[in-house]
Amino acid sequence: MLLYNVTIIIEDASADAWLQWMQEEHIPDVMATGMFVSSRLLKVVDSPNEGLTYCAQYVAQSMAEYETYQSQFEPALQEDLNTRFRDKFVSFRTLMEYVA
């Protein structure tokens, strides 16, 4: 199993609108792809960054499902984020494999 983690640092002024959009639209859209078995959204409590830092995490059962998500679904979903919150966030992605 794989954990796909997207860390997002969103500016304070946009954080409430972004959080609502994530919970009501983006995460449900990601899960509707059928490529992940679970998701969670976490807020980083002790972030040294300006703005608010969140981690959206998605669990995939296989590399094939993750790769399908990357090639077939992520570009459009990422474009939606970029359109709605352009210049209001930075993000980075990490793919991790469960070992225990």
Cβ atoms of residues 3 and 98 within 8 Å: yes
Q: Which fold has domain 2-97?
A: Alpha-Beta Plaits (3.30.70)
Query: Can you give the residue ranges of every domain in the chain?
Result: 2-97
Q: Is 92 left (phi over 0), alpha (psi -120 to 50) or beta?
A: beta
3-class DSSP assignment, residue 15: helix
Per-residue pLDDT tens over the stretch 39-92 = 999 999 987 888 999 999 999 999 999 999 999 999 999 999 999 999 999 999
Does 2 score more than 90 pLDDT? yes
